[in-house]
Amino acid sequence: MAAEIALLAGVDAAHEDLSGPAIRRVMQREHEVFGKKESVRLAGISVSHIYSLRDTAVNRSQRVRAQHTQARIAERRKPDPRGRPGYLLVDTVHQGNHDGEAGLFHINAVDTVTQWQVVGCVETISERHLIPVLIAMLHPFPFLLLGFHCDNGSEFINRIVAQLLEKLRMEFTKSRAYRTTDNALVEGKNGAVIRKHIGYGAIAAPHAEAFQKFYTAQLNPYLNYHRPCGFATIQVLPRGKRQRRYPVEDYRTPYEKLVSLPKWEQYLKLGITAPMLQQQAMRKSDTEAAQEMQKAKLALLAKSRGPK
């Protein structure tokens, strides 16, 4: 019997511990199809006996199982900012395929409390293109960054992004199954901002650098200092249903929302001051900033979608 136990251990190792019925079928094929005489006894034993043999001390001494460590990347829960800015929701938006090849990708990051938004652009969502742009996108947020939340896409759920966020001391969370509201704010901004301004037409990946420059110089400042956003108040109805309302008086730019927070200056990054932000906000009127952004955007879209 020791020979059969050793044989079973070897077969288990080769097949990465298949189920009992699968291993029994392997033994039958070894004997009946491939003529392996040493498999004759194991080919006819019951599935329960296979499990019994696996549990013997002799089998354990023969079979050393490699335990594959599963790195836990990101905690599966919704961010809990508790009224503090710095907890980002992040998502990607693909700009279609161009001439049979994947188009560029937009990266969208939105603060959960102030709706401060930074948009970036990459040729691909591979590590080589994504990480430098992601680092550049975290810089313009004027407040300390405390959290990074995304869905379960592999562009963010990987060791490289996890190491970057650990270095920045940002907590890393990901959306829960069947909880569509976890990332709803940034997904809404995908449509209300990116699709509204850039549209759905395909744009080739090599134009990503031009879009990144446009976002940095034009779109992001407009979004944060000159574009009012609706901020919901939640009313709990008698039966416990939560109803979201958007009062007219609570439409503010992300900058206005930031400065309305109690003791808001405590959240600012080192080197960022209230006068610096105010100067940026007052540099142009809302409509002047919008017109300047629109002019740059139309020129960029004409160039990126025009003939080669």
CB 149 within 8 A of CB 87: yes
Residue 126 has pLDDT above 70, yes or no: yes
Highest mean pLDDT among 6-10, 74-78, 218-222: 218-222
CA atoms within 13 A on the CB side of 155: 23
Taken in order 13, 14, 20, 24, is the CA torsion positive or negative? Answer: negative
CB 290 within 8 A of CB 226: yes
pLDDT at 146: 96
Q: Give the model confidence (pLDDT) of 27-73 as tens digits.
A: 788 878 888 888 787 778 888 888 887 777 556 565 555 444 445 78
Residue 306 has pLDDT above 70, yes or no: no
- CA–CA dist 287, 226 (Å, integer): 8
Q: Give the model confidence (pLDDT) of 190-243 as tens digits.
A: 999 999 999 999 999 999 999 999 999 999 999 999 999 999 887 887 877 777
80 burial via Cβ count (<10 Å: 0-12, 13-18, 19+): exposed
pLDDT at 247: 81
pLDDT at 64: 53
- CA–CA dist 118, 10 (Å, integer): 55
pLDDT at 142: 98
Which CATH fold topology does 75-305 show? Nucleotidyltransferase; domain 5 (3.30.420)
What are the sequence ranges of the domains in the chain?
2-62, 75-305
Residue 308 has pLDDT above 60, yes or no: no
Q: Indicate the pLDDT class of residue 173, thresholds 50, 70 and 90.
A: very high
Residue with the bigger pLDDT between 8 and 228: it is 228
The mean pLDDT value of the chain amounts to 88
pLDDT at 28: 84
pLDDT at 69: 45
Q: Pseudo-torsion of CA 247, 250, 254, 257, nearest 10°? A: -140
Record the pTM. 0.75
Q: Report the SS3 class of residue 40.
A: helix
CB atoms within 10 A of CB 253: 21
Contacts of 24 (CB under 8 A, 6+ apart): 42, 43, 45, 47, 50
